[in-house]
């Protein structure tokens, strides 16, 4: 797991507002891809992913105030290595239907692919 933190925003700027989440929990993100946009009185900052993986937890909502070094979100890097988090029923159904699970975005808890 990796943590996405509020980056340094400038010499005298210590806090920002979560303006917009670009990625949702369960989304697969690539290294460097924008996760969230933060706004201050002077600038808007795009916060990138520190690694590739699945966004598993967002700690703040849009409109919340955050401070430098606060943890904004958690990222599960196992998806980066090609591992798919899926339940046994989903794996069996995917195999029977000839579906590549690496192309499916999991909507279960923590981005797990589950049988509908």
pLDDT digits (tens, 9 = 90+) for 54-78: 899 999 999 999 999 999 999 988 7
Note the pLDDT of residue 116: 66
Query: Exposure of 103 by Cβ count < 10 A (0-12 exposed, 13-18 middle, 19+ buried)?
Result: exposed
> Partners of 113 in the beta sheet?
86
Which residue segments constitute the domains of the chain, with CATH numbers given? 2-83 (2.40.50.100), 84-116 (4.10.320)
pLDDT digits (tens, 9 = 90+) for 1-51: 889 999 998 888 899 999 999 999 988 888 899 999 999 998 999 999 988
């Amino acid at each position: 797991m990796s943590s996405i933190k509020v980056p340094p925003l400038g010499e005298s700027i210590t806090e920002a507002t979560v303006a917009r989440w670009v990625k949702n929990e369960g989304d697969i993100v690539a290294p460097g891809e924008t996760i969230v946009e933060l706004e201050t009185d002077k600038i808007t900052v795009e916060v990138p992913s520190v690694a590739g993986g699945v966004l598993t937890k967002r700690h703040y909502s849009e409109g919340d105030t955050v401070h430098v070094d606060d943890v904004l979100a958690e990222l599960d890097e196992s998806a980066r290595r090609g591992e798919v988090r899926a339940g046994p029923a989903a794996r069996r159904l995917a195999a029977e239907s000839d579906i590549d699970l690496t192309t499916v975005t999991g909507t279960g808890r923590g981005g797990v692919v589950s049988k509908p």
